[in-house]
Amino acid sequence: MHIDVRPVARLRGPNPVNVPAALEPLFVALSDAPVDPARLRVVCDWIQYRNNFCGPVECRPVLAERPGEHGRLGEQGRLGEHSQGGPAWAALDSLEIGIDLRRSGDVELAALVKEALAATADAAIPTGMVLEPWVPASESCIWRFNTLYWQALSRWEQATGREYEQALPGGESDARNTEAVHEMILELFRVWDELDARHALPQELYIVELGVGNGGQARTWLDAFAALDRGHGRDYYRRLHYLMGDYSAHVLDRARQTVAHHGDHVNGLVLDATRPLLTLGFLRGKAFCVYISNVYDNLPTDEVASIGGRPYLVEVQAYLREDEAAAIAGRHRVPAGTLAPLIERLLRLGPDLLAEAAPDAFADVGHAVALWRDVWAALCLRERYVPLEGLDAYRLSPSLTGEILRPLLGHGGDIRMHASNGALASFEGTLPLLHPFGRLLCHDLFLTEPAQYHCGFFGPGKYDGSVVNWVNGPLLQLIGNRRGYEVQIAPFTARPGSNIKTLTAQVRD
């Protein structure tokens, strides 16, 4: 039996986490459970997000084969009918029991473990209201909720009474930190002065920002640039083109208004941050800075794992617990059986159109937003590990196979980590935009070493109405290096103690 205690930093200090208190009821529950202890893995985490997708106890089957192969597992990937008489264990490499140490002291842990084991072992019919089939995490409907959040941001903000920036750790985007902005602009001036001295400075000076939010970041940057340029005396502002990219036209319009006083120096482009070259291909090799703040942690990601030396993909299934689903249906006066289709319509239409399309169910848009918020708050993910035939058979991004994960997954024993697919695609697509003397600058939640995955939980969590996952920094470094870029991740100096890190990438060799 393998027991993995991850939040090791919390084992000491003024309020240490009580691991024995969590393990004792676990062993009580296991004493008469129909499971093979030799193939049990217990993973104790500290899930720092108050709003997240899992309960205090979760069971995660580690499948021996891919679902559907050799007819050993049904599509649901649960033990189901195979559990009769125990053959279901033949379909598993092992079973992982996840315990959230932050909540374990507040619940009847032994009962929850028994309940979770029973639900895993017994179930031709899965528990709860299932919202999707088993999928890689990046394809889960949680990302449709995430998209909805950004598309209908103003509705969410109206309902909560606060702007999204207030939900960020520092109460504002890190890109608006003026000290960091000044530092970056002065460095640009230094590079441009050098190029100019060699008659190698292009006439057009491009700066790109991906994910512009309300335009506050762009405004801070451009105002600072104009002021610093006046002092610098080289009239770079005249040659400056600041391109704002966002996938929401609505957000771009708002950002344009914020920087309207910079006139033609600013342009907005609707784009997908995970495929920047589709829109910005004309800038290949021309951008002196690509600026991305708090975007990568909000892009779809899978999780991959190495267990016993074998690679696995984490598959998830979104669902609502039965009692939660019943409560939501009752609160919104819809028959319980229509809730799942209604959620699907919400994700497809958004709250405005849904209210319009179903006036009997929603008196106004506010009621549709209330449903949205209720479902989001109750949304859970169950997980399972599905074996990968080979890392090269897993597509990490359009141009990369999972083979590049090998040095990270081979890092000291069992490990589970984010593939950061969206961030990776964005990163890969952004690097070619850089001028040979250009730089990618990114403020985000980055892990800096693979070993950190042994010591903590890094998502997914719910951040307001959006999804957050820490970004696999070592993977981005690896890929940047393979593309000929020096990639560094350093603490965000402008806000000491913050979890935010600064990633920079620039050409090497």
Partner 1 sequence: MAVTGRASTARASTARASTARASRSSGASLAGLLPTTVVGSYPVPEWLERLKTDYYQRRISAQHLNEIHEVAIKAALKDQELTGLDIVSDGELRRDNDIDYLLTRIPGIDIPHRAKTDYYDYYDAALSRPLPEPKDAGLGLGLAADFAFTREQTQRPIKFSFTGPFSLSRRVRNTAYADPADLVRGLARWLNAEAHALVAAGADLLQIDEPFLAGYPEAVQLAIEAVNIVTEGVDATWALHVCYGNRYARPLWEGHYDFLFPAVLAARIDQLVLEFARKGPGDLQLFGQHAWDRQVGLGVIDVKSADVESADLVASRIRRALEFVPAERLVVNPDCGLRHLPADVARAKLRAMVAGAAQVRKEQRSGQHPGRSANTDGSAAAAGQARSPGNTEPAD
Residue among 334, 308, 503, 332 nearest 424 (CA): 503
Q: Which is nearer to partner 1, 310 or 483 (CB)?
A: 483
432 binds partner 1 (CB under 8 A): yes
484 binds partner 1 (CB under 8 A): yes
Which of 75, 179, 253, 403: binder of partner 1 (CB under 8 A)?
A: 403
Q: Which is nearer to partner 1, 327 or 507 (CB)?
A: 507
Q: Which is nearer to partner 1, 2 or 286 (CB)?
A: 286
CA distance 266 to 317: 42
The interface region with partner 1, picked from 177-185, 223-231, 327-335, 482-490 by CB under 8 A, is 482-490
The distance from CA 479 to its chain's CA centroid, rounded to whole angstroms, is 19
392 binds partner 1 (CB under 8 A): yes
Maximum distance among all Cα pairs of the chain, rounded to whole angstroms: 82
496 binds partner 1 (CB under 8 A): no
Alpha helices in 122-259 (DSSP H): 142-151, 153-160, 178-197, 216-232, 249-258
CA distances to 63, 263, 292, 333, 460 from 463, in Å: 31, 34, 18, 27, 9
Q: Which is nearer to partner 1, 211 or 450 (CB)?
A: 450
The interface region with partner 1, picked from 13-21, 99-107, 443-451, 481-489 by CB under 8 A, is 481-489
195 binds partner 1 (CB under 8 A): no
Q: Which is nearer to partner 1, 61 or 402 (CB)?
A: 402
The interface region with partner 1, picked from 54-62, 70-78, 316-324, 480-488 by CB under 8 A, is 480-488
Q: Which is nearer to partner 1, 284 or 331 (CB)?
A: 284
CA distance 417 to 303: 5
CB 422 within 8 A of CB 274: yes
Q: Which is nearer to partner 1, 34 or 285 (CB)?
A: 285
CB 508 within 8 A of CB 453: no
Q: What is the DSSP track for 55-90? A: -SEEEEEEESS-TTGGG-S-TT-S-GGGGTTSGGGG
Q: Which is nearer to partner 1, 198 or 238 (CB)?
A: 198
CA distance 442 to 456: 23
Axis-axis angle for helices 142-151, 153-160 (nearest 10): 80
Element (H, E) at 45: strand 40-45
CA distance 85 to 387: 24
Smallest gap from residue 483 Cβ to partner 1 (A): 5
Q: Which is nearer to partner 1, 401 or 452 (CB)?
A: 401
| CA terminus-to-terminus distance, the chain | 48
CA distances to 210, 277, 438, 467 from 215, in Å: 11, 22, 22, 21
Smallest gap from residue 484 Cβ to partner 1 (A): 3
Rg (CA), the chain: 25
CA distance 147 to 153: 10
At residue 314, what is the residue type?
Answer: V
Smallest gap from residue 87 Cβ to partner 1 (A): 37
Residue among 210, 138, 57, 216 nearest 397 (CA): 138
* Binding to partner 1, residues 276-295 (CB under 8 A): 285
CA distance 30 to 83: 17
194 binds partner 1 (CB under 8 A): no
389 binds partner 1 (CB under 8 A): no
The interface region with partner 1, picked from 330-338, 374-382, 398-406, 419-427 by CB under 8 A, is 398-406
Site string for partner 1, 63-102 (x = CB under 8 A): ----------------------------------------
309 binds partner 1 (CB under 8 A): no
The interface region with partner 1, picked from 115-123, 139-147, 401-409, 498-506 by CB under 8 A, is 401-409
CB 315 within 8 A of CB 135: yes
* Binding to partner 1, residues 158-187 (CB under 8 A): none
Which of 233, 263, 359, 436: binder of partner 1 (CB under 8 A)?
A: 436
The interface region with partner 1, picked from 129-137, 351-359, 361-369, 478-486 by CB under 8 A, is 478-486
CB 44 within 8 A of CB 7: yes
Which of 256, 275, 395, 483: binder of partner 1 (CB under 8 A)?
A: 483
* Binding to partner 1, residues 212-251 (CB under 8 A): none
Enumerate helices (H) and strands (E) in the chain, giving the number of each: 15, 21
Residue pointed to by tokens 């970041």: 217
CA distance 288 to 54: 42
Smallest gap from residue 430 Cβ to partner 1 (A): 14
Q: Which is nearer to partner 1, 129 or 434 (CB)?
A: 434
406 binds partner 1 (CB under 8 A): yes
Smallest gap from residue 434 Cβ to partner 1 (A): 10
The 10 Å Cβ neighbour count of residue 202 is 13
Chain residues that interact with partner 1, rule: CB under 8 A: 285, 392, 401, 403, 406, 432, 436, 481-484, 507, 509
